[in-house]
Chains A and B, each alone.
Chain A
Amino acid sequence: MDDNLILQMENISKSFPGVKALSDVNLAVRKGTIHALMGENGAGKSTLMKILDGIYAPDSGQIIFQGQTVIIDSTHTALKLGISMIHQELSPIPYMTVAENIFLGREPVGRYGLIDKRKLNADTKALLNRLEIDINPTSRMKDLSVANTQMVEIAKAISYDASLIIMDEPTSAITEREVAHLFKMIRSLKAKGVTIIYITHKMDEVFQIADDVTVLRDGKQVATLPASQTNKGHMIAMMVGRELTEMFPKEYAPIGEIVLSVRNLTREGIVKDVSFDLRRGEILGIAGLMGAGRTTVIESIFGIHKIDAGEIIIKGKKTQINSPADAIKNGLALLTEDRKLTGIMGVLPVRDNMIIASLPNYEKKGLLDGRLIEATYKQEKSRLDIKSPSMHQLIKLLSGGNQQKVLVSRWLLTSPDILILDEPTRGIDVGAKAEIHKLMSKLAQDGKAIIMISSELPEILGMSDRILVMHEGKVGGIFERKVATQESIMQAATGHGLDAEASQEKVTI
């Protein structure tokens, strides 16, 4: 047995109804290292870590932690052993304060068994200061941004004095600047001897911070190797089992007339004077930092939020959109940012999730035509290569990428002219991502107009014909594809004094 190993998970297997999530997976993690766990969605990364955190019990296999065979039957046990996990889906208690959330269940108690609030807040302040996190301990969680909520979760994990911290895609919802801060924290934890298991989809991050990498594919371990001995192409090949030549292939599509014009769209306090045009065959990327108002802009266009001022002109006609139903009638479709919260209906079968926005199409004499629905399901399943055992499968049992494909299909079935995709590839695996990109090109070629919000710059640069950058609720710049660079976009997004024209000059020089 290797003394350097803090953790060995041996021959771990786990099945869920209908899926073999893990089979005979081995994971060995060296003490004091940052160990990246990679793989497509559905590869079993989260399941493996939830076993380590005591959320799931493995069907077979054993866990050796700090030289001892352990049985981790609950999160509580995991914490006692010194294992702490930061989940991908954050679950703060919204109406309680930062301090109360961090020390939940371990509140310092003073006289008469009452909570010592002063100590609670002071301890929290000290902890946050140590981590260089600038958040008020008495703020309510509901008032924090996603990134700050993330930071609080990390602080909480660290506050347990864990020797092993698991981070499940901690950067999926935060901006690049915040990622830099996060990495700094991770490195300083490592310097203190803490071991970190880091689940991610993002290659760049692995090479920036990881010492070792374990790649999982379809519930099996493909390899564990030092990060220095691999590269992007090699890793993608291991994850998907094939080489990906081009990750973001926007193919040529003829650009036609303007189908959507937004003029001076304003929503008090969030979005101000946003104007842009969208043409047939075009993909308009919207970039910007978290909280820049990107999602609010498109949700206002789609009738989810009320517009305080401004006009929406669809195919030359000024259009009033008061509800999503209005938007759909006018040929709009919106794939929302948060798949779980506003996208899928988890407890319903794939079938319903797919057809819910286009039900009138299958109605005959007041009844839904089951045969037509089944034919539609089959057609969509093969068109988008959706992996689902049947149309009666509950959508929550599909992988993230396949859920997303079902949602894409939901919208395509409404035959929209204008597709708005908010973070269409967030949290989905490399293979499904490439397929969605390919589909977007195809849709553009079919004459659809597409708006795509994305926080991933390579995706924005690769897929967009033009890029609208938002900064603090306003348009920070609109760039043509050929002149846009990561630097120019980041500058516009952070409001660093360069207007679009100036940055174009800078780039073309």
Chain B
Amino acid sequence: MASTTTPQVLGKSVSRESLNAFIRKYAIVLIFIVMFVGMTFLTNAFLHPRNLFNVVRQISVVGLIAIGVTMVIITTGIDLSSGSVLALAAVFAASLAQQPNWHDAKYPGLVVPVIVPIVAALAIGLLCGVINGGLIARFKIPPFIATLGMMTVARGFALIYSNRPVSGLTDTYNFIGQGEIFKVISIPGQPPLGIPIPVIILAAVAIAAHIMLNNTRFGRHIYAVGGNEQAALISGLNVGRIKIGVYTIAGLLSGLAGLVLSSRVGSGQPGLGVGYELDAIAAAVIGGTSLSGGVGTIWGTIIGALIIGVLNNGLDLLNVSAYWQTIVKGSIIVVAVIIDERKNR
């Protein structure tokens, strides 16, 4: 039956298979489109440009983490520390970006250019990532355990550094998370809408990561290590260094996510990003990254993050309780893995 419905022009033997292959490959995109269209019809507010920008702004933090996590998972690893590293980077960077005369300033009177907290956030993330990678590559600690350790340690340091929100941040710093550029989308009766800076950061990082994974030696090495670590080693790859590199990138992106999130909410809080690591893993997995390694794409992960974002937003708009939202999200992750498993048969 199916063969009669496929276009005959393509030749009947090829068409059904290639159609199946196409559907399998882009299933995730189709699911996203269906959800998008569904939400558009179910709610009035969903398609509003301001709402759509909110969705992408919201996913930008998890998206950044998810890009690093995707690379980690491709090597058959996992990173549970992203949310905590985000928080540590956030409080540290925020403390360097407070208004000098703020009543509760961590360093009263401190005035530094905005590049200092930016570099600080990235450096914290990088350092945590290097430690993760070192533990995994040099001391052969399973990634789950090493990053679980980092998850609690980094959160602990964040709380020690500041057990209350670091607020009163400078406008320049807050611009990173709240600013918009290219204000071209005009809506009658409202200020023009621009592209949120976090979205631009996410897009830039995603493009860079995509190019790195597909068009550089290091990127192909990441896939090779995940595809067959032993074979990669025998092919002359420095597997340890590749793993350290991957966890370092993941840490760096967690730091960047901390910078973006603290500037978006206008304060560095030690409790930021709890559970983000799981959302990031979910985005990667929904986007087709295989936990058995060697398989995964950045665009898939971004779509995965968008699916989570649209789902959260749409369920909010539909007044579905937050509890139900977690149940729906969890179910979708499991279904995504089932689809992935079937694909691999």
Binding site for B on A (CB under 8 A): 17-18, 302, 304, 323-325, 327-329, 334, 336, 341-348, 352, 355-357, 359-360, 363, 366-368, 370, 410, 414
Contacts and interface: CB of A to CB of B under 8 A. Distances in A.
Interface string B274-298: 0000000000000000101111000
Nearest to B217: A359
Contact of B232 (A18, A345, A360): A345
A24 B234 CA distance: 42
Contacts of A348: 223-224, 227, 294
A325 B220 contact: no
A164 B294 CA distance: 39
Nearest to B224: A356
Contacts of B226: 347
A344 B216 contact: no
Interface in B222-254: 223-224, 226-228, 230-238
B104 interface: no
Nearest to A367: B215
30 contacts: A18-B17, A302-B234, A304-B233, A324-B233, A324-B236, A334-B234, A336-B234, A342-B234, A343-B231, A344-B228, A345-B223, A345-B227, A345-B228, A345-B232, A345-B294, A346-B228, A346-B294, A347-B290, A348-B227, A348-B294, A356-B221, A356-B224, A356-B235, A356-B237, A359-B220, A359-B221, A363-B216, A367-B211, A367-B215, A414-B236
A368 B220 contact: yes
A357 B234 CA distance: 9
Given A345-B294, A348-B223, A370-B215, A324 B228 contact: no
A128 B216 CA distance: 55
Q: Which of B215, B228, B231 has the most CB of A within 10 A?
A: B231
A325 B228 contact: no
Contacts of A344: 228, 231
Contacts of B238: 323, 325
Contacts of A357: 235-236
Given A302-B234, A324-B236, A368-B220, 16 more contacts: A18-B17, A304-B233, A304-B234, A323-B238, A325-B236, A336-B234, A342-B231, A343-B228, A343-B231, A345-B224, A345-B232, A347-B227, A347-B344, A356-B235, A363-B217, A414-B236
Contacts of B236: 323-325, 327-329, 357, 414
B21 interface: yes
Majority-rule SS of B interface residues:
helix
Contacts of B101: none
Given A345-B224, A347-B227, A368 B237 contact: no
B227 A346 contact: yes
Q: Which 7 A-B pairs have the closest CB atoms?
A: A345-B227, A347-B294, A357-B235, A328-B236, A345-B228, A325-B236, A348-B227
B20 interface: yes
A331 to B, nearest CB: 12
Nearest to B230: A342
Nearest to A325: B236
A345 B220 contact: no
Contacts of A355: 220
Given A342-B230, A346-B227, A17 B21 contact: yes
Contacts of B294: 345-348
Contacts of A328: 235-236
Contacts of B224: 345, 348, 352, 356
Contacts of A304: 233-234
Q: Which of A304, A324, A329, A345 has the most CB of B within 10 A?
A: A345
Interface in B54-113: none
B228 A342 contact: yes
Contacts of B234: 302, 304, 324, 334, 336, 342
Nearest to A327: B236
B223 A352 contact: yes
A410 B216 contact: no
Nearest to B223: A348
A359 B294 CA distance: 17
A368 B213 CA distance: 11
Contacts of B17: 17-18
Contacts of B221: 356, 359
Contacts of B237: 325, 356
A201 B48 CA distance: 66
B136 to A, nearest CB: 18
Interface string B192-236: 000000000000000000010001110011011011101111111
Contacts of B215: 367-368, 370
Given A345-B232, A347-B290, A352-B224, A368 B216 contact: yes
Contacts of A356: 220-221, 224, 232, 235, 237
B231 A345 contact: yes
Contacts of A347: 226-227, 290, 292-295, 344
A415 B117 CA distance: 49
A366 to B, nearest CB: 6
Given A342-B234, A347-B294, A347-B295, A368 B217 contact: yes
Contacts of B217: 359-360, 363, 368
A157 B226 CA distance: 34
Nearest to B20: A17
B219 to A, nearest CB: 8
Nearest to A366: B216
A371 to B, nearest CB: 12
A348 B17 CA distance: 20
Contacts of A325: 236-238
Nearest to A343: B231
A410 B211 CA distance: 23
A22 to B, nearest CB: 16
A446 to B, nearest CB: 22
B72 to A, nearest CB: 16
A344 B235 CA distance: 10
Contacts of A346: 227-228, 294
Contacts of B230: 341-342
B227 A324 contact: no
Contacts of A17: 17, 20-21
Contacts of A410: 235
A341 B229 CA distance: 9
Interface in B277-326: 290, 292-295
A348 B227 CA distance: 6
Nearest to B292: A347
A324 B235 contact: yes
A501 to B, nearest CB: 37
Contacts of B228: 342-346
Contacts of A360: 217
